[in-house]
Amino acid sequence: MTQRPIYLDCHATTPVDPRVLEAMIPFFTHQFGNAASNSHIYGWEAETAVKQARDGLAAAINASPEEIIFTSGATEANNLAIKGVAEAYLERGRHIITVQTEHNAVLDPCTYLASLGFEVTVLPVQPNGLIDLDALEATLRDDTILVSVMAANNEIGVLQPLAEIGQRCRDRGVLFHSDAAQAIGKVPLDVQAMQVDLMSLTAHKVYGPKGIGALYVRRRNPRVALAPQQHGGGHERGMRSGTLYTPQIVGFAKAVELGLAEMAAETARLKGLRDYLWARLQVCDGIVLNGHSSQRLPGNLNLSIEAVDGQALLLGLRPLVAISSGSACSSASRKPSHVLKALGHSDDLAYATLRFGLGRFTTADEIEQVADGVIATIKALRSAQVVA
Ligand SMILES: *Cc1c(COP(=O)(O)O)cnc(C)c1O
């Protein structure tokens, strides 16, 4: 077996686009300076590269460059946003609102804050994965300091109505944070139109390198105060100390630039492949589409398959396709995904779930092979079960 499985796990991570890698390479070797060194050309080169990257990333979400704080990724950006706001505003209030289907990098900082005495409301979602705006509005209180709702879900691909959420938060004077790790470079984002005050970004879901991301922090109307979570040399306006990782920053900006430039064509292509895969799989009965049918990432298809054993399904598909299931396998314990549970699924149905993440390098031929393989595997498992 020399053939590696087809990669359809683009919500977990993506390969670095060769054009991104090319942009990064000089900054590992020749232009290796520290962007904070202001007395020589090595530092100036790095500083210029970081400035260009910052300008490009800010423009990509309609922010200004000073509002971009580089971090190690979206996990750190979420932690900085949530804990940083909680600490800076604790005299004003201690109530935070988030949603059941958020990434653990949002839920766990909220749980941590709850252990410190903050009060966290975790909103449920509708069966299609979208939040109920009236329920959100009813939950906002005078002591609410932050609402955190993701842009695009990493399992079911659902796109939350950021502009509508932003409007409701702004009306009540509550800060709005959005984890846009899955959305940047794939769907349009505009922090002004959407009235987002803090936005978490990462590079490695959009064909950039791992280990780099950013937090957008609004500077006016309103100016967001943020308590740093990492102290040191005062980089990033004191909000995140640590020497800037120039090659990763350059790669991040290049990845987002490409994502934006190719968004229209790539969205159409991925939707075509995704919808074709879904159409073909419907020859099997008892397949449930998870998440809103159209308000979702173009490369996402998330299906729960009735009357098959989830573990057997995943094992059967393993040689053919690298894909993710409906369980978060943390260490030995197999737990059903909290996102699928929030949709109201039983544990068994949640386990029998396949998350297809199509991406820039996915081909029509691969989708054909995967459709054939998934159909054959489901049929084989179901007939084996009947015989037994
Ligand atoms: C991948 C992901 C994260 C974590 O991002 P890292 O950059 O890997 O830390 C956070 N939130 C969502 C929605 C993600 O998909």
3-state secondary structure of 155: coil
Report the mean per-residue pLDDT for the chain: 95
Q: Which residues line ligand 1 (CB under 6 A)?
A: 73-75, 103, 105, 150, 154, 179, 181-182, 202, 205, 213
pLDDT band, very low/low/confident/very high, at 48 (cuts 50, 70, 90): very high
The pLDDT value recorded for residue 334 is 75
| % pLDDT > 90, the chain | 94
Q: Cα of 179 to ligand 1 centre, how many Å?
A: 8
177 CA to centre of ligand 1 in angstroms: 14
Query: Residue 330: is its pLDDT beyond 80?
Result: no
Q: Which domains does the chain have, with CATH numbers?
A: 6-14+263-380 (3.90.1150.10), 18-260 (3.40.640.10)
pLDDT tens by residue, 314-324: 999 999 999 99
39 CA from centroid of ligand 1 (Å): 36
pTM of the model: 0.97
Indicate if 10 belongs to the active site: no
Q: Closest ligand 1 atom, CA of 202?
A: 7
Closest CA to 131 of 108, 115, 150: 150
For residue 213, which atom of ligand 1 is closest to its CA?
A: 7
Q: How far apart are CA 175 and CA 99, in angstroms?
A: 15
Q: Exposed, middle or buried: residue 240 (CB in 10 Å: 0-12, 13-18, 19+)?
A: buried
- Count of other CB atoms within 10 angstroms of residue 93: 17
Contact 292, 128 (CB under 8 A): yes
Point out the ligand 1 atom lying closest to the alpha carbon of residue 75. Answer: 9
**Ligand 1 mutation pick, 16, 198, 205, max ligand atoms within 8 A of CB:** 205
Instruction: State which amino acid sits at residue 67.
Output: E
Q: Looking at the DSSP assignment, which residues form a beta bridge with residue 200?
A: 179, 215
